[in-house]
């Protein structure tokens, strides 16, 4: 039997030097083995102290290369518009730069150097989007380009990933690693947080700790596989004859005034019936400004009272 790869994880300062002989030796021969400084596994780059600096450096460089390649799509006078560049950056570059984010971004972790690498990458993206000078301040470039500062963007992504944990199925492999509050149909893992002493749990620095602190804040109960969500159990499936939809015509048409009078009559009837609830919906989009965002809203009324 021959050993081809050896990797040693340690947070000791002595182990930062990969040339130190750690006592590993193959089963055949007398040549000592030297642990690898970087280990790549499933697209993740592990260094020996688990700081993931090499991982962030690799993917920030890859994202920066992608941004520079996008310059071929056009310049400031001909090509993509700034809002199109921003959409392209957020949909194609940000997922590359934040790949494996949960490995290194968690509470009490040292990731200041990683944030700096990603900030430099986003600065180049902002210069490409806005066409600014290279000497422009980073905060101004991000503000004009409509980009969230990278440290706030990463925090939002981490918080949202933690909040999605209660929506996981009861047999998801992450649940056995958490505390009893999040356990599903699978028993707790021997190395899970549920079997960790409370004194050691407070000292632990791990993404699992962020899940426990963040995902326990919402008070709603999530049931991703609830029977009411299955086809045939929805409201429209159970009561198709009790639900009516009224769509308003264009305000400038001849049928609009007739529609308004009929709607007033219907609302008067609905308000007096305790068995009827009606939903009013509205939407708006500006056709004069291409950068405006569409807005939609709805209200549920029952007997002159707004219930939702």
Query: Across the 308 residues of the chain, what is the mean pLDDT of every consecutive 10-residue run?
Result: 59 49 44 72 85 91 90 69 88 93 87 90 91 89 91 91 84 85 82 80 81 74 70 78 75 76 77 78 68 76 77
Query: DSSP letter string over the chain?
Result: ------------GGGG-TTS--S---SSSSPPP---SEEEETTEEEETTS--HHHHHHHHHHHHHHHHHGGGG--SSSS--HHHHHHHIIIIIHHHHTTTHHHH-STT---HHHHHHHHHHHHHHHHHHHT--TTS-HHHHHHHHT---HHHHHHHHHHHHHHTGGGS-TT-TTGGGS-GGG--SSPPPTTSGGGS-HHHHHH--SHHHHHHHHHTS--SPP-TT-GGGSTT-SHHHH-GGG--------TTSTHHHHHHHHHHHHHHHHHH-TT--EEEEEEE--SS-TTPPPEEEEEEEETTEE--
Instruction: State the pLDDT at residue 48.
Output: 79
> How do the domains of the chain map onto residue ranges?
47-162, 171-238, 244-306
pTM above 0.85, yes or no: no
């Amino acid at each position: 039997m021959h050993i081809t790869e050896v990797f040693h994880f340690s947070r000791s300062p002595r182990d930062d030097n990969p040339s130190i002989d750690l006592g590993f030796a193959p089963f055949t021969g007398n040549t000592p083995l030297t642990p690898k400084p970087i280990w790549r596994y499933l697209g993740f780059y592990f260094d020996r102290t688990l700081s993931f600096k090499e991982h962030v450096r690799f993917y920030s460089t890859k994202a920066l290369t992608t941004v520079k390649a996008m310059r071929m799509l056009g310049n400031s006078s001909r090509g993509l518009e700034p809002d199109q560049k921003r959409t392209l950056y957020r949909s194609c570059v940000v997922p590359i730069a934040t790949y494996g984010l949960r490995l290194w971004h968690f509470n009490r972790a040292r990731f200041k150097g990683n944030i700096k690498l990603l900030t430099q990458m986003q600065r180049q993206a902002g210069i490409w989007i806005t066409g600014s000078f290279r000497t422009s301040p980073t905060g101004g470039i991000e503000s004009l380009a409509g980009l969230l500062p990278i440290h706030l963007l990463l925090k939002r992504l981490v918080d949202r990933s933690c909040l999605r944990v209660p929506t996981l199925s009861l047999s998801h492999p992450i649940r056995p690693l958490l505390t009893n509050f999040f356990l599903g149909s699978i028993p707790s893992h021997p190395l899970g947080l549920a079997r960790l002493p409370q004194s050691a749990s407070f000292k632990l620095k791990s993404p699992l700790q962020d899940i426990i602190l963040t995902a326990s804040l919402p008070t709603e109960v999530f049931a991703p596989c609830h029977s009411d969500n299955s086809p045939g159990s929805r409201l429209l499936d159970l009561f198709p004859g009790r639900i009516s939809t009224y769509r308003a015509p264009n305000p400038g048409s001849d049928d609009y005034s007739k529609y308004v009078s009929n709607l007033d009559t219907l609302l008067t009837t609905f308000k007096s019936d305790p068995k009827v609830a009606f939903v009013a919906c509205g939407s708006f989009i500006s056709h004069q400004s291409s950068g405006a965002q569409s807005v939609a809203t709805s209200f549920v009324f029952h007997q002159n009272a707004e219930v939702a």
